[in-house]
Amino acid sequence: MKNLILLTICLLITVNISAQIDVKVKKVPAKTLEKTIELRRDFHQFPELSNREFETGKKVANRLRELGIEVQTGIAKTGVKGILRGGKPGPVVALRADMDALPVTERVDIPFASKVRTTYLGKDVGVMHACGHDTHTASLLGAAEVLAGMRDEIAGTIVFIFQPAEEGAPPGETGGAQDMVKEGILKNPDVEAAFGLHVSSSLEVGKLEYRLGGFMAASDRLEIKVKGKQSHGSRPWTGVDPIVASAQIIMGLQTIVSRQSELTKEAVVISIGKIEAGVRNNIIPEEALMIGTIRTLDTAMQRIVHEKIRTTATKIAESMGATAEVTIDIGYPVTYNDIELTRAMVHTLYGTVGKENVRVVPARTGAEDFSFYAQKVPATFVFYGGRPSTTPKSEAPSHHTPDFYVDEGCLEVAIRTYCNLALNYLGMKR
């Protein structure tokens, strides 16, 4: 009898799992994929920087209107919202893509390479989709086309979020997901869950990666201004050298990571990316400026790290006769994958690309402003592969570089993943 009960339970579990991985979109229509590739190449060839996605936003809005989807524009400057109301009542789910490019000059030899140049922070720069946001925008439009063709079958509403400025608004401006949320992107209709995807140039096409809980780091901007006393370079003892003090502070900051942070709990990164000081070789300047980034994956550790940075910088400067002013601007919070929602959707990922092509990965110290949506509603963020199978992982170009490249085969996987996450969530909540 016990064996019979056990067998029955196993059969029920098997049936339940099979039902969970029964995805609706197993193949993207050829015409949809062709249009998606066309859009992606257009976005790639004509990229726009954060808060400047004017033409990209127009193209997105026009395509959504062609699909018969309700459109709202001008959200957080250039953001676009599409609303697809299904033929049956049900919950509301959101799918998000980001649209902005980076001040990077493209080196990739492709027919649709970007030749765009613009002015950024007073400098003439090239503009490139060096993080794959062109694939995000195009694939979500592809998903919108597939889902619009199924609207009568959909029990609920799907909100498409096309967001500006994920890479960060220019100095003196606000933007991105934080502004989208403030301006009501998750309201009218009220979104109950959100899903976001991001391409990875190091992950092979056809594969997906996710993590339960904290997935990507909080990102805070660090500025330390060290003030000393100017003197002749030949007589440093008559002044206070802020450059030497800054060097000592930089080394001191690394001990916060290596000796004062509980790294077995979560990772911590403190990096100084810019130093400004002095005007010529034989003058010790009065002031030095350091700008950097702080990455943390735990809010309690984040607070502790901020305190230790202030203490370390000010005390080292004081010990050398200088002063240090520390400014920490809170940036993106931790990108948190809701554990219950993500667990519920794992079988959708399995059904989309096969269980063998889905893996759980460690947390990343990169940051994503998808985190602002995840603070408001349960959310799940997933990476999809963009690396050609013929390219060794060690040779895959990194994101944010002139050689960044992804295979367009990733678009079909992204479209199916977007669609299946939305449809299975709506089906699960019925």
User: Catalytic positions, please?
Assistant: 332, 408
Q: How many CA within 13 A on the CB side of residue 85?
A: 6
For residue 135, which phi and psi values (nearest 5 degrees)? -70, -35
CB neighbour list of residue 13: distance below 8 Å, 6 or more residues apart: none
Residues 387, 401: Cα–Cα separation, whole Å: 15
Count the residues in the chain: 430
Residues 179, 98: Cα–Cα separation, whole Å: 13
- Using DSSP, state whether 290 is helix, strand or coil: strand
Residues 355, 153: Cα–Cα separation, whole Å: 27
Q: Is 213 left (phi over 0), alpha (psi -120 to 50) or beta?
A: left
Residues 166, 276: Cα–Cα separation, whole Å: 27
The answer to whether residues 170 and 105 touch, using CB atoms and an 8 Å cutoff, is no
For every residue of 121-149, DSSP letters joined together read: TTEEEE-B--SSHHHHHHHHHHHHHHHHT
For every residue of 65-102, DSSP letters joined together read: HHTT-EEEEEETTTEEEEEEE-SEEEEEEEEEEE---B
Both structure tokens of 350 = 């399995």
Residues 75, 175: Cα–Cα separation, whole Å: 10
Integer angstrom CA distances of residue 323 from 140, 285, 327: 50, 14, 13
Residues 197, 203: Cα–Cα separation, whole Å: 13
- Using DSSP, state whether 49 is helix, strand or coil: coil
Beta strands in 151-282 (DSSP E): 155-163, 193-204, 208-210, 213-216, 218-227, 231-232, 268-277
